[in-house]
Amino acid sequence: MPVQGFIITPYQIPAARGIGAITKAFPAQVTTTLDHGYITGAIVRLYIPHYCGMEQANRLKGSIEVTGATTFLIDIDTTLFDPYVAPPANLTPAQVVPVGEDTDTFESAFRNILQPLF
């Protein structure tokens, strides 16, 4: 839809997904509870509550390689981490969350790098 000479292109950012399993490996394989919709090369962060074990991976981020609708490999070495344990149904599962922008670096923060589409 045009707005003052610009075309607004909606971007879909895949949603956070619950984690059903994480292997102890390098790279680690993550299995989500629903189809994730991620693409190879995306950066995601893991959020793992203490009751799920594998707390060493909490808040770590990595690049992924999609291997299936509910699986991907993440470049995190979990071989020496505690095992992952899926929580009971009444507790919130661990989550994988796509990282939209790394605000620690603020690349191009002072210059608009998007070009108008005419």
pLDDT at 99: 87
CATH assignment at residue 20: 2.40.30.180
Lookup: tokens for 110: 């002072």
Asked if residue 77 is part of any domain, the answer here is yes
Q: What is the full per-residue pLDDT of the chain (118 aa) written as tens digits?
A: 444 554 444 455 568 999 999 999 999 999 999 999 899 999 999 999 999 999 999 999 999 999 999 999 999 999 999 999 999 889 988 999 998 644 444 444 444 445 555 5
CA distances from 107 to 42, 102, 110, 111, 112 (A): 17, 9, 8, 9, 11
The C-alpha atoms of residue 46 and residue 61 are separated, in whole angstroms, by 6
pLDDT at 6: 47
**Taking the model in full, what pTM does it have?**
0.74
Alpha helix segments (H runs only) across the chain: none
Asked if residue 69 is part of any domain, the answer here is yes
Sign of CA dihedral 43, 48, 52, 57: positive
- Cα of first residue to Cα of last residue in the chain, in angstroms, is 11
Asked if residue 26 is part of any domain, the answer here is yes
Q: What are the phi and psi torsion angles at 25 (to 5°)?
A: -165, 175
CA angle 33, 34, 35 (to 5 degrees): 135
> Domain range for residue 90?
14-98
- Specify the number of domains making up the chain: 1
Location of structure tokens 């990595």:
62
Is 20 in contact with 31 (CB distance < 8 Å)? yes
